[in-house]
Amino acid sequence: MPDDEYQGTTFKSGNSVALRLPKGMGIPEGTEVRMVKEAPMSFRVEPVAAPRRTIDISGFAGKMPGFTPAPREDFEERPSAVARRKALSGE
């Protein structure tokens, strides 16, 4: 068998038929995949594009001594945010 060809046997898993993918195929554990049926007994497996993850750093602001975040000039601050900031700073 060539290096890029593998043989396996299906098995029952709950109400589904399952097939193990060999580690040699290079698919990392936990990868979300989409299976596309192309013809009877023929399908394609492709990774699902994961959405970009963002990290909310708002809770870290003011935690580092001497650090002041640069003001954002691309939007107007909500009045409630301005009032909260003034209340916290003692103005």
Distance from C-alpha of 91 to C-alpha of 87, rounded to nearest angstrom? 6
DSSP 85: H
Structure tokens at 82: 């301005």
- Whether 10 and 17 have beta carbons less than 8 Å apart is answered as yes
Residue-wise pLDDT tens digits, 46-64: 888 877 778 777 776 567 7
Higher per-residue confidence, 3 vs 84 = 84
Distance from C-alpha of 81 to C-alpha of 50, rounded to nearest angstrom? 32
- Residue 61 has a pLDDT of 59
Grade residue 39 by pLDDT with cuts at 50, 70 and 90: very high
Instruction: Write down the mean pLDDT value for the chain.
Output: 82
Phi, psi of 56 (to 5 degrees): -85, 110
- Residue 57 has a pLDDT of 73
